[in-house]
Structures are given as C-alpha cells and as structure tokens.
Amino acid sequence: MIIESDYLTEGLFGQIFVWMLEVLPYVHSRGWRPEWRIRSKNYGQPPYFNIFPGIIQTTYQPDDEKGVVRFEELERRNKFNFRHDFGKARDYWRSYFCFTQDVYDRAERYWTDNMSGKTVLGIHYRGTDKNTDFWQSNPVSRYQFLSIVEDFLSMHPDITAIFIASDDANFVEAIGKVLPIHYHEQPRSRGRMPTWNSHDVDQNVAIAKAAILDCLTLSRCRYVLKCMSQLSAFSKVFNPDLEIYRVSAFKLGWFPEAYIPLYRSKNKAIQALLDVLQRDDYRASLGRKILGFHRRLMRIAVKGWKERAAIGAEIQRRLFRVNN
C-alpha cells in the first residue's frame, strides 16, 4: 500500500506531520503497513520532493502491496482528533515514524554539551508571518514575550538554563542581551518573511531538519513557554509529560496546539497582558468565540475596504495622468 500526497505547500508541523499523525488510527485499523510518498514544496528532497526517507522514515518494512491511497482524501475522511490524549498520539507516532539518525545524534550531542544536569526552560517565539495572522492567533511582540518569560522565571527559581527556538533573529538577539541563552545555529528571518517558505529548494532538507531539531530539544526541557505554533506543540507529542504553556490564543481547534494549556500569572500586570493575548482562544466560552469571530470578520472587511480604496485611488491617478 502506498499513501501518496499531492504537492503540499504548507508547514512541516502545521500541515504535514499533523495530518500524518491524524490518519494513523485509521491506517492501524486497516492493518496497513504503507509506503509513504509525502511530497512537499518546502521540505522535500528534489527532484521528487518526497520527505521520505531523507527527513523521516518508517519504523517498519512496508508491505509489497502497491495500491495507492490519496493522502489528502485519507486525512479529510478519516482523521482522528487526539484532543488531550498526548500519550496516545506519541504511541501512534513512535509505532510508525522516526527521524533520520543524524538529527537524533545532533540533538543528543547538543543536550549533552549544553544542558546536561540543568533545569531548562524552553522558549518558542514564532514571529514573522504567524505574528500577523489574526485569524489564528493574536500578535505577541518580542518585549511582551520577554516580560512573560521574566515573570515565569520569577515563579520558577529552579530554572538554571534557557533554550530558545525562534524564526526571528531580532528576538534571539533581544533576549540574549538580558538573559543567558542557548540555541541552535540555523537560518532566521529579520523581517516578516518566514524562513519555512522563502529558501531555495536545495535548502529544503536542512530547513526541515533544523525545525525538527528545535522541536526535539524543546521536548527535553523541564518547562516550555510558547507562541501559537504546531512546531512547539508537537514537543508535547514527543514528550507527553512536558510542562508546556501557551502565552497567546489559538482560535482554531487543531490538535495538538489547541490542547496546550494557557499560561496564567499571579502578577496582575502580566495577567492583564495575557488576557489580551489570549482573547478569543478556542477554549473560550461560546459567547466569547462568537464575539471573536465577529472581530476577525471586521478585520478582514476593513482590510478589504483599504485595499479597494487604494486600488480606486490608483485608478484615479492613472486617469488623471491620461486626461492631462
């Protein structure tokens, strides 16, 4: 049996890995041991762009049967929501998939050299495009996030090391000026253009492995504080015992992100900030969800009005130049 995708264009954790995980209970119920051909524009190895086996591999020898099942159709019709059962998600993942050995070796060496014997706070700050996506979350500035980190540190004096995962080079530099930090050397952005879909295809595998390395390292931390991102949410799939918190809302119901608990503070000022950042969360009351949906529609409408006004103004300028 072959499970084959079309040419996927979204995130490694946000689309590909979560879809793969969601179909595993159905695959298991059918007794399949399939070959996977998951093709990704941003992460697959050219020329076929399949993420197997250069990024991820099966833990079993696939069956010889060569029938083809469409991955997207399988996910649409048969996906499973693990909800709060991160242990079940981990067990399914481990039964079917593992990463390439070089990634595990790099993660182990890094941890041994930098974190061994320490109580580590993992931080995931997802900036760039995700920090402007009001439909999914609320933006968190670098300094808002830093103030929340400092609050968390004040409540957890046992922390002796900080690991940073971020696509935002400016955030890494900002937090590094006030706190001693550790991080993996990898490409980062200095603007709003994300690294996950703005690199050359010959970097696909390296970008994918960098993301996996961040996630695996986060999963070994004692605590994790995070913005909205499936990458860091997957660290709890890899380690269900991980104590992990979201600082901002996730407005959709996708596993695993929606089932990561929200961080709450005893500091009134920090909690007031969190109340704003966590507004319209998926786990909010129905009334708040309806209000949040209305706010999102209004933002879309205002954006549309501004775009139409800009287009109209440009047409008027061109007509004026033609007539004069």
Residue-wise pLDDT tens digits, 107-160: 999 999 999 999 999 999 988 777 777 889 999 999 999 999 999 999 999 999
The CATH number given to whatever domain includes residue 185 is 3.40.50.11350
Q: Are residues 264 and 186 in the same domain?
A: yes
36-to-26, 60, 61, 74, 213 alpha-carbon distances in Å: 15, 12, 11, 13, 22
| Predicted confidence (pLDDT) per residue in 191-223, tens digit | 777 777 778 899 999 999 999 999 999 999 999
Q: 51, 67, 99 — which closes off a domain? A: 99
Q: Are residues 255 and 132 in the same domain?
A: yes
pLDDT score for 117: 96
Alpha carbons 51 and 58: distance in angstroms, whole number: 11
Q: How confident is the model at residue 305 (pLDDT cuts 50, 70, 90)?
A: low
pLDDT score for 310: 57
Q: Are residues 78 and 226 in the same domain?
A: no
pLDDT score for 308: 60
Predicted TM-score (pTM) of this structure: 0.86
Q: Are residues 55 and 124 in the same domain?
A: no
Residue 270: CA atoms inside 13 Å, Cβ hemisphere, count?
Answer: 18
Residue 190 lies in a domain: yes
Residue 263 lies in a domain: yes
Q: What are the helix and strand counts (H, E) for the chain?
A: 10, 10
Q: Which of 126, 138, 150, 102 is nearest to 234 (CA)?
A: 126
Q: Are residues 315 and 211 in the same domain?
A: no
Question: What total number of domains does the chain contain?
Answer: 3
Q: Which two tokens stand for residue 310?
A: 């800009």
| Predicted confidence (pLDDT) per residue in 33-67, tens digit | 999 999 999 999 999 999 999 999 999 999 988 89
Q: Are residues 89 and 117 in the same domain?
A: no
Q: Which of 89, 122, 140 is nearest to 248 (CA)?
A: 140
Residue 43 lies in a domain: yes
Query: Nearest-5° angle of CA 152, CA 155, CA 156?
Result: 85
Q: How confident is the model at residue 184 (pLDDT cuts 50, 70, 90)?
A: very high
Residue 282 lies in a domain: no
pLDDT score for 200: 87
Q: Are residues 74 and 178 in the same domain?
A: no
| Domain ranges, residue 317 | 288-324
Beta-bridge partner residues of 24: none
